[in-house]
A = this chain, B = another copy of it.
């Protein structure tokens, strides 16, 4: 068949797949995009993404249930108390995923004007980007420089 060692291993405990069960869906990514842009309220999210309200409701609940967002009460003058949605630490840790989408999209799928947002280092204002690096400090140029090897969770197919 093929020379890929990975064919001999089971996929059932794949961590990529596990991550996808939570966040592997278009609207969920857009909810997270809004959250990272500091958009926190149901109406704002619905208006900015154009997603069906029912789906937004569903996705917000899911993300709260799994600890990526938390509900925080707020109060506008003359209004009753309502809830907004903020990223937890666990949610914040998805930032590289969104940055990866942003970078790839900006390179291959942007309108001619360029990206809608850019990312700056809060402390120095310089542009932020993702880099692949190894523990010895080398910077890797591409996926070609990476060798996937079986990890501790790898199980041979019986």
Say whether A16 contacts B102, CB under 8 Å: yes
Contacts of A50 in B (CB 8 A): 11
- Taking the closest CB of chain B, its distance from the CB of A17, in whole angstroms, is 7
- Chain B nearest CB: distance from A147 CB in Å? 5
Say yes or no for A21: interface residue by CB 8 A criterion. Answer: yes
Contact call A11/B115, Cβ cutoff below 8 A: no
User: A44-B1, A148-B118 are contacts. A49–B154 as well, Cβ < 8 Å?
Assistant: no
Which residues of B have CB within 8 Å of A65? none
Q: Is the CB of B140 within 8 A of A133?
A: no
Query: Closest residue of chain B to A108, judged by CB?
Result: B90
Binding site for B on A (CB under 8 A): 1-4, 6-7, 9-11, 13-22, 24-26, 29-30, 33, 36-41, 44, 48-50, 84, 87, 90, 92-111, 113-124, 126-136, 138, 140, 142-155
20 additional A-B pairs beyond A93-B107, A131-B131, A131-B132, beta carbons within 8 Å, are A1-B41, A2-B40, A4-B40, A13-B113, A14-B105, A15-B116, A18-B105, A18-B111, A20-B29, A22-B109, A24-B26, A95-B146, A97-B101, A99-B100, A110-B153, A118-B148, A120-B134, A120-B146, A120-B148, A122-B146
